[in-house]
Every structure is written in C-alpha cells, then in structure tokens.
Structure 1
Amino acid sequence: MDWRLIMLIACIGSLSVSPLGAKPNLGVLNAQGSKQKSAQQLQQLAKSITVKVLSKDFLGSGILIQKNGSVYQVLTNAHVLRSGNPPYQIQTPDGRIYRTDLSKMSNRSTLSYFHGNDLAILQFRSPQFSYKVASLGHTSTLSVGNEVFAAGFPFDSQGIQDTGFVFRQGQISLVLDKALEGGYRIGYTNDIVKGMSGGPLLNRAGQLVAINGKHAEPLWGSPYVYQDGTKPKPSLLKQMSKYSWGIPIEVFMQMGSPSFINNYSYTDIQPEVNQ
C-alpha cells in the first residue's frame, strides 16, 4: 500500500467528532500522540478557557467548551447553577461579563439534561471578541500516577466572592470501574476547594479530560454512592475520601446532543453587559 494512503488513513482515524453539532475541534486527540506542555504553558492555557459563573453573586467555575459562530458554550456542574438563580452570567478571562438566558430551555429541565450527571451548559454571544475553547482528551489514556492539572476560582473565607484564578498540579489516584452518582469516576490529588467546581482538569498535553466537582474530605454525608445505588466497600470508601473527584469528559461527549444547540434560539442570548 502506498505510504501516503497509510498516513491518510491514520490521520482520519485519530479524529473525533464534536458532540455539539458544530465544527469538530481538531484538538481532540490521544494525549499519547500530542506534544506535552510545560507547567507554565498549561497554566496559561487553563486560564484562557476557565470562566466564572455568576448569578447575583459568584457561583463557581466553568469551561469554554465549544464555539458556534459568535455563540460560546460553557460547561459547568449542575450543582453550580443550582446554588443560584437565573439569569446567569459568564465572566470571561478578559473580565467581560456576558448574560445567558435559560428561559427557552426551562421546559427541557436544563439542570438535569445530562441524565443525572452533574453537568450543565450555559451559552453566551460574543460578536466582537473571540475566546479560546478547550481541546478534548480521553480519560481512557489516564493511569494512576499520571500528572493532571486543575483550575478554577475558589471562594473566599466568607463564601461570597472568589479569590482569583488558581492552578494546581497533582496526579491521578483512582479511576473507578463504574461511576458514582453525578457521573464522577476520576479521583486525583489536586487540592480542589469550593468555587473550583465546574473548572477543567487537564492532562500534560493541555487537553480537557475531566470536570472538577467534588473536593476531598467531605464535611458531612456520604457522597460516594454508585449510580446504581450500591456503595463502595469500606476500605475503598476510606481511600476515596482522600481525593478530589471529576467527571470524565466522555460523559459530556456521550450525552451531548446536537438538538440541544439546534433547539436553542441564539437571538435570545444577550451580548455583554459589562466591560
């Protein structure tokens, strides 16, 4: 077989299709075949794709996940949105604040759209300013001990405002065979605190592999229940409580639907309200 044909087949086979119905993000590649970045490069990248989710006050973090024309989709945790009331706002890395309107989606029960997984999407329009969006990786390439990098905006001590962008290095500690409630399956040593929920977890190549959502050492209750209602063994529970937890990006890729975007009226999304 001609070597050029072999290379063409290999390149085609490495691409993944975007679940959002927009143009595929050609950054969706296997991390093993992607160039690794320095910690400084990763921090700059994380800062460029991580946003603040606001209502009347700061609610948590989010990720610029996809762009369709002048409309951006932000991926965050459903529990971040439940902690406030619409209308929600997005503050982008350049400090601009954009409105987003969920009223058109109210009959679709937006906050449970991802079938019980702790994920939600906000959308905003930016006709004048362009923003970087995340490249998607694969958690199937992650192994215990792999370096990962978490980002977000922690709350202050009063739990009202954020204290600014943080970037924290750690490593994969557990990858569960089946998901916990909310879709959580990836455990890692990065110090995740309140406010960083909805922020990105990146691999060494700068690809988004999971969404932050649970911090270590929960203060009350037992958040470690599998989606089928069973509980991990006590020995595993004790180990799990030591780590932060994220939702694999594949959950979003599998549950995302082109109809989510196609049924949304972009004309109802308001442009920025504060520069």
Structure 2
Amino acid sequence: MNGSPLTLVVCLGSISLILSASAPVVSIPTPNYIARSITVKVLSQDFLGSGILLRRRGATYTVLTNAHVLQAGDPPYRVQAPDGRIYRANLPQRLNFGKNDLAVLQFKSAGSIYAIASPGAFPASGDEVFAAGYPAVEERGKKQSLAFTTGKVSLVLAKPLEGGYQLGYTNNIKNGMSGGPLLNVRGQVVGINGMQAYPLWDQPSVFADGSKADERLHQMIIRLSWAVPITKVIQMMPKAENTTVTTVFNQAD
C-alpha cells in the first residue's frame, strides 16, 4: 500500500457517492445535547424553575420561561447557565404576553457565549417530542440534573386553554421543569413546558375565551402534559428583538 487515503465508492441507483477516509466527520447535535445547551435554571432566593436561552444581542441574552415560574419567587431573579455560572437577571418592562403563561428575563455575559434555541414549526399530532427541564429537588445535597423525557404530541387543541396552552403530549414532566423546552426530532423548540398531567385538583378545563371543555375532552386533557407553542412567543416578541446569531453548542458537563 502507498499510504494514500482510503476512498470508498457507494453506488445508489444512478448516483455515486465518493467517501474519503480523510474527510471530516460531521456530528449532528442530538435533541438531548441541544437541550443541555439551551436550558437554564431560574432562581430567586431558591430554585424556581427552568428557562430557555431564546435570543442573544451582543452580550445580552433573553431567557424564556413561564410567568408562574417567576410568580413563585421575588426579584432579584438569577439565571444559572448550562456551564454553572450564575447571572443576575432583569425583567424587560416593554415585553407583555398578556394572559399567556409566558415571561422573559435578560442577563449579560461578557465572557461566555451560550447556545440559543432554534424555534420550530407548529407540531402535529403524532410527532415525536422531547421535554427538558430541571426537576425540583427536595433532598438536601442531591445534585440537580437536567431531566430529558421522550414522548409524542397526542392532542393539539383548535383553541388554547387558559395561559395559552395548546400542545398536549405524553412526556412526563415534573415540578421544576416548567419553563423548559419541548423539542422536535431536529432539536428545535416547539413549545414551553408548563402543565403536568393528572393535576392534584380536578378543576374544569377552561379555554382562553372563557368557555369550558366538555367532560370527554376534559378527561383527555388531564391525562397529558401541556406546553405553550413557541409560535405564539415569536408572534408576540417585538420585531426589534430579532437577531441573527451563530449557534454555539457548548460541551455539556
């Protein structure tokens, strides 16, 4: 052998693919890897819930979460990034999501660059999805690690429930995972986790317009976890917030 790179020719019908052993291997980030890169912890005096690194403008990052996550604690809020660093976060006063269970925080990071989420299209019933977030930990001293669960979209409502919830899925989510991402198979964020299946109190399922779901639909609703579609967030964010950013995936711990 003369030491030249090995070349493999693969014929598919009339198409020939030449694969060189010296060619670089391109690694495509998995949804799990992406979730670990874009999911943060939202803190006050204590842990409140999860959030999503949504946008970056210069050194300023915008974190998306649920309104009820912030309501569980008092300012000042803090954000713990995927690399463990903690930043003081502010509430942008100009952003208003109405009665939707959505909120954003902003923080500045002069030294570290973090990945940001890539929004996906509105999913369809039957689509495989992945839910991520940090479950609340009650045992002292136990490390709080990211949870990542698999499932599928089971019910897409024609009109949203109170809080903007419209995507019902089979993934298990726990307390603390509220505000975390719901991703598709491409690792794109399609929703924001916010409601667990089988609530402690069996209250009627009420839509955003004030009407109530009938009993058959209600029983379907309470068996699923629920997310607010990311498309609603994109529609309501100010246009001035849009920016083109090269996504950098940091190595997960």
Name the TM-score, length of structure 1 as normaliser: 0.74
State the alpha-carbon separation in 2 of the partners of residues 187 and 169 from structure 1.
Answer: 13
Q: Is the 8 A contact 1:148 1:202 kept in 2?
A: yes
Q: Any idea what SS the aligned residue of 1:225 has?
A: coil
State the alpha-carbon separation in 1 of the partners of residues 119 and 222 from structure 2.
Answer: 27
Is the helix fraction higher in 1 or 2? 1
Structure 1, residues 85-104: CA drift from partner, whole Å, max 9, x if none?
Answer: 000000000000000133x7
State the alpha-carbon separation in 1 of the partners of residues 126 and 143 from structure 2.
Answer: 30
- The correspondence for 1:96, drawn from 85, 88, 106, is 85
Aligned 1:1-275 pairs, distance under 5 A: 41-102=30-91, 105=93, 113-139=96-122, 142-157=123-138, 163-222=144-203, 224-258=205-239
Greater Rg by CA: 2
- The residue aligned with 1:31 is none
User: 5+ unaligned residues in a row in structure 1: which ranges?
Assistant: 1-36, 262-275
The one-letter amino acid of 1:164's match is S
Structure 1, residues 192-251: CA drift from partner, whole Å, max 9, x if none?
Answer: 111000000000011100000000000015262101100111001001110000000011
- Deviating above 6 A after TM superposition, structure 1's stretches of 4 or more consecutive aligned residues are 158-162
Q: Is the 8 A contact 2:64 2:102 kept in 1?
A: yes
Q: How many residues align?
A: 216
Greater RCO (Cα-Cα under 8 Å, separation 6 or more): 1
Q: Any idea what SS the aligned residue of 1:75 has?
A: strand
Q: Is the 8 A contact 1:155 1:162 kept in 2?
A: no
1:254: how far off? 1.0
Distance 1:159 1:152, change over 3 A: farther
1:258: how far off? 3.9
Q: Is the 8 A contact 1:61 1:76 kept in 2?
A: yes
Structure 1, residues 110-145: CA drift from partner, whole Å, max 9, x if none?
Answer: 6xx201100000000001100000001111xx2222
User: 5+ unaligned residues in a row in structure 2: which ranges?
Assistant: 1-26, 243-253
Q: Any idea what SS the aligned residue of 2:190 has?
A: strand
Aligned residues: CA RMSD: 2.2
Distance 1:162 1:153, change over 3 A: farther
